[in-house]
Amino acid sequence: MHRRKSMKKQAFIEQDAVDRILCQWARERPDLDVSPMGIIGRISRIERLLDPRLVSVFRKFGLERWSFDVLASLRRSGPPYELTPTQLFSSLMLTSGAITYRIDEMVKKGFVMRTPDPEDRRGQRIRLTDLGQETLDAALAAHVMNESRILEHLSVEERTHLSSLLRQLLLGLEPSPISSRPTEE
């Protein structure tokens, strides 16, 4: 495992693959400020490296990343652990067609069930089953332990700082939810 060395202990910081790419671009195109590539490139590489580490834990529980996300959305919603398909696809940023397919798959596995929507006679709600909740709760504990292992080389302060910076980036990229916009009086 590569660890970043403290500046007090060592006079250099290990280079990663993105540093090498930036050096190449600096040599080939010194007229361009390629520093944004460092941030975006690292985020992209981290995602590609994280995905198999996350998926391997989910698969131990018969889940894929998307099915974990659906179950987690239902579980986080609180009792009775149900949402409309629209609420689900909105929270997961999926199309209605994609969420319909995924719900069908999860119904087959017994993780969720469809129930009539008491507020809309034509609608339905997706409800977490006991099996879905048990599976999600076990997978969630393993997932959090896995994420802790992934981040173990960062100090608490570094994790806090990184989380804050990523929040700022995400807030600048995501559309603002209507509910969080201030109302005019």
What are the tens digits of pLDDT across the range 37-88?
999 999 999 999 999 999 999 999 999 999 999 999 999 999 999 998 888 8
pLDDT > 50? residue 172: yes
Using one digit for the tens of pLDDT, what is the confidence trace for 119-156? Answer: 888 889 999 999 999 999 999 999 999 999 999 999 99
pLDDT at 7: 43
Task: Indicate whether 171 pLDDT > 60.
Answer: yes
With the C-alpha atoms ordered 148, 149, 152, 153, is the resulting torsion angle positive or negative?
A: negative
Q: In terms of domains, do 70 and 125 share one?
A: yes
Query: How many domains are there within the chain?
Result: 2
What pLDDT was estimated at residue 5?
A: 47
* Pair 107, 46 in one domain: no
Res. 181: pLDDT tops 50: no
- 99 lies in some domain: yes
124 strand-pairing partners: 116
Residues 30 and 85 in one domain: no
pLDDT band at 118 (very low <50, low <70, confident <90, very high): confident
Domain, as residue range, for 127: 65-136
| CATH code: domain of residue 119 | 1.10.10.10
pLDDT grade for 94, boundaries at 50, 70 and 90: low
Q: Is residue 170 part of a domain?
A: no
Pairwise pLDDT comparison (139 vs 91), residue with the higher score: 139
Phi-psi bin for 93: left (phi > 0), alpha (psi -120 to 50), beta? left
**pLDDT band per the 50, 70, 90 thresholds, residue 101:** confident
For 10-29, write each residue's pLDDT tens digit: 456 788 899 999 999 999 99
Give the model's pLDDT for residue 28.
Answer: 95
